[in-house]
Chain A
Amino acid sequence: MSTAEAAHGHNPDDPIAAHHELTQTNTGIENKKLIMWLFLASDCMFFGTLISTHLIYRKLYPAGHFEEGVVDVTGTFDIELTSFSTFILLMSSFLMALAVSAMHKGQVKSFRNNVIGVILFGLIFLGGQVYEFQHFFHGQGWYEWKAIPRAEGTAAHHGEAATHGEEAVETAAHTEGAGAEETAAAMTEEAASHEGETAETAHETTEAAMDNAAAEGAEAVTESEQAAEATAEVAGPPAESELLVGTLGNGKYFHDVADTAEAKHAFEEKHPNWEVTEFKQAKVVPGLSLQNSLFGSTFYVLTGTHGTHVAIGILWLFSMLIYSYSGRLRAENAVDVEIAGLYWHFVDIVWIIIFTAVYLVEYVV
């Protein structure tokens, strides 16, 4: 008998002997496993009351926003992201089942690979939840904007027109209405058509554009005049950006913060070559916090508690992964892995209920 066998009473690498050793209890079930099942049964009641609380308050206070009015739940939720998170958590459960199976067979390397997958999937789920919470907390808004290209860009290089075109397309990507898409497409075409013009015709276009700018306001005209002067000093064909001076752009802009001033600032930072003349809210979904609505309170507490369970599961599995590299995680520890697996699967089944009771139900009219 080896030293390890002498210490354990059996060969620690022999899964059969290890199982027989551990199940010598009155119930025939490993004690640790029995306690885990009891814990999970009690945790069922814990989540049951949290889910009930959420559903009850949702029914009693459908317009549960104290400060901002009715909570736009489907506007706040991002069902694509949540569905992806659900899928990720289900697949992590699958990998966890494989990890437990591998440990039962005494295949530590396979266990490690699967557990790494579970941890990664768990982190993706948590990342999604953090993103979601941040998104919900700040709210979101769709803003209508009107802007003209800045005159400062006149002395810029040839590639700037393309930049304007890209900006227009990018803005169109955030646009809900077809009208703005058309505008963006027209702007792109304009930028492209100017690219082929000669220097002479380009100057004519600049003048025409300046006339347009005059209609938009004296300030824009002044900037256009300055731009034209600057262009005159530049040798060679004029830059395309100057040809857009005075061209009015408009569209819709999405920003993940329900604050007009902040959204405008972000828009201006994203499009430094555009001078915003008008920026207003088209639709806004206010931020959701623990304090400003009952829906927010119950939603954050319920999903936050679940997220905490996921985080604990990740830490648990990570510690097991590290422990496995010490060489002390053997077939006889399969029951420890199984217990961690039970916890992880429980987190998964709770999410199955939350996904339906909290998210999907909101979309059913």
Chain B
Amino acid sequence: MSHPATYAELLNQENQRYHAFINLALFLAVLTGIEIVLIFIPFPFWIIMSMLVILSAVKFVAVILWFMHLIYDKLLCLYLFTAGMILATGTMIALLALFNNDMVDFDAMTGWNLPALVRLVA
């Protein structure tokens, strides 16, 4: 988004953002309320989990786009942050996938059972 050329334009721009911020704050509060109610509803596990993940992702994206001005700033900022997010999410997925492998004897590993570690590496 281009930066305002005059102070009047800047005021107008900031006032518009002000209303966006208020709406977003209300939206976030409502989403948080829904999250809290959701955990007490006897729906299947996967439905609740999916909804919680989606709601969190929506809140996360809303904050970085509006409150952190990514939607107003140059795209480079978005690329930088997204790069960090991709690396972080990739690491999380890799770790969770690795430790979801039931073939690995993690009890032995955490107990410093060296033969098990050697077998695993080999």
Interface residues, chain A, CB within 8 Å of chain B? 14-16, 19-20, 23, 27-29, 33-34, 37-38, 40-45, 47-49, 51-53, 55-56, 59-60, 79, 83, 86-87, 90-91, 93-94, 96-98, 100-101, 104-105, 338, 341-342, 345-346, 348-349, 352-353, 355-356, 360-361, 363-365
Contact = CB atoms under 8 A, between A and B. Distances in A.
B61 to A, nearest CB: 9
A365 B40 CA distance: 9
A41 B85 contact: yes
B35 A52 contact: no
B25 A29 contact: no
Chain B CB count within 10 A is highest, among A16, A93, A352, for A352
B35 A38 contact: no
B92 interface: yes
B77 interface: yes
A40 B63 contact: no
Contacts of A19: 3
Nearest to B87: A45
Given A29-B77, A349-B60, 7 more contacts: A16-B6, A33-B77, A34-B80, A93-B63, A97-B17, A364-B52, A365-B45
B46 to A, nearest CB: 10
Interface size class of B (residues with CB under 8 A): 35 or more
A56 B99 contact: yes
B85 to A, nearest CB: 5
Contacts of B91: 45, 48-49, 52
B19 to A, nearest CB: 11
B48 interface: yes
Interface in B2-37: 3-7, 10-11, 14, 17-18, 21-22, 24-25, 28-29, 32, 35-36
26 contacts: A15-B7, A16-B3, A23-B3, A29-B76, A33-B77, A34-B80, A37-B77, A40-B84, A42-B84, A45-B88, A45-B91, A52-B92, A53-B95, A56-B99, A90-B32, A91-B29, A93-B63, A341-B67, A345-B64, A349-B60, A353-B60, A356-B52, A356-B53, A360-B35, A363-B39, A364-B49
A287 B14 CA distance: 49
A263 B100 CA distance: 42
Interface in B36-66: 36, 38-40, 45, 48-49, 52-53, 55-56, 59-60, 63-64, 66
Nearest to B5: A16
B48 A364 contact: yes
B108 to A, nearest CB: 12
A41 B7 contact: no
A37 B81 CA distance: 6
Contact of A101 (B21, B29, B60, B92): B21
Contacts of B38: 360
A14 B6 CA distance: 10
A364 B87 CA distance: 28
B74 A27 contact: yes
Contacts of A100: 69
Contacts of A353: 56, 60
Nearest to A294: B110
B39 A345 contact: no
A73 B57 CA distance: 24
A363 B28 CA distance: 21
